[in-house]
Chain A
Amino acid sequence: MAVLNQSSVTNKVKLIDARGPRFSAGITTLVLAIALVTQSAALIAIQLVVFAIGAFAGPAKTPYAFLFKKFVKPRLRGEVPTEDARPPQFAQSVGLIFAVVALVGSLLSIPALFTVAVGFALFAAFLNAAFNFCLGCEIYLIAVRILKK
């Protein structure tokens, strides 16, 4: 994963507008929902590119973040809530993995694999958008506990 080399909490923290990733998760939810219903590999390919940009360049660099900055942010008032860029970047990396698995399922003509992978990605994106669910909080430590001796 693109962000695993920045894993200490003591590292210098890059802050971004916390509402951006949540807005992006909303659009991601919509794209994944349509892809799931229409079984569209093309839509997943587009979402895969977005996830890849988010995972490698950062969540503030995606086309969805651009839409947020251009059209949504100017309309929002009040204090800007900030957050560390790493948690949403981690979530984008996990999304990328699911998108890759979904496309592999599509290329190998295994619709069940496509459906399950898109389903998991949609589950996480929807929770993020609707409940401010923090994927990194729930799965990262468990993954580290399993993988590291």
Chain B
Amino acid sequence: MKSLTPLVIVLALAIAFGVWYTRSRGEFRKKKTVNGPKLDASIIGVELGSRVTMVQFSSAFCSPCRATKALLEDMVGKMDDVHYAHIDAESHLELVRKLDIRSTPTTLFLNRDGVEVGRAMGTPKRSQVMAAVNAIH
């Protein structure tokens, strides 16, 4: 059964997936209806920001989690009304299931009430985080 067909199929699927993957990572996806659970300091371990809170879920086998953490920590340092929380997904499985976190890093953007308005999967660019944060009032 020596044939090039399986190789061609696998490479075509991988290229299609890879292009989608590269484009969609880091992209801020706004929720159509803001009706999720209300999160607060007792759940995420950090006081809510007066305008926005970014909640990053990470796991052990995740290279981009480190880069995302560094970026978001750097950015919140310059914004008084935005807070940042970092959560180990594996040790918070109940929360992970409730919020339907599937991959890491996933960053939730919470409004002042602690309700998710959107999320980004993968490492966002600085400009993508800025745009997402600026759109929340």
* A interface, CB within 8 angstroms of B: 3, 6-11, 18, 33, 36-39, 83-84, 86-91, 111, 115, 118-119, 122-123, 126-127, 130-131, 133-138, 140-142, 144-145, 148
Contacts and interface: CB of A to CB of B under 8 A. Distances in A.
Given A33-B7, A133-B18, A84 B96 contact: no
B135 interface: no
19 contacts: A7-B59, A8-B91, A9-B60, A9-B88, A10-B88, A33-B11, A36-B10, A87-B63, A88-B63, A90-B61, A123-B14, A126-B10, A126-B11, A127-B18, A133-B21, A137-B61, A137-B64, A140-B60, A145-B93
B60 A134 contact: no
B49 interface: no
A136 B11 CA distance: 21
Interface of B: 1-4, 6-7, 9-11, 13-15, 17-19, 21-22, 58-66, 88-91, 93, 96-97, 101-105, 122
Contacts of B104: 137, 140-141
Contacts of A91: 61
A145 B66 contact: no
A84 to B, nearest CB: 6
A88 B64 CA distance: 12
Given A9-B88, A115-B6, A140 B61 contact: yes
A115 B62 CA distance: 28
Nearest to B100: A145
Contacts of A86: 60-61
A54 to B, nearest CB: 13
| Top 5 closest pairs, chain A to chain B, by CB | A136-B61, A90-B61, A131-B18, A137-B62, A87-B63
A118 B2 CA distance: 14
A39 B4 CA distance: 10
Given A123-B10, A127-B17, A145-B93, 13 more contacts: A87-B62, A87-B63, A91-B61, A115-B1, A123-B13, A127-B21, A130-B18, A133-B18, A134-B62, A136-B63, A138-B103, A144-B90, A145-B102
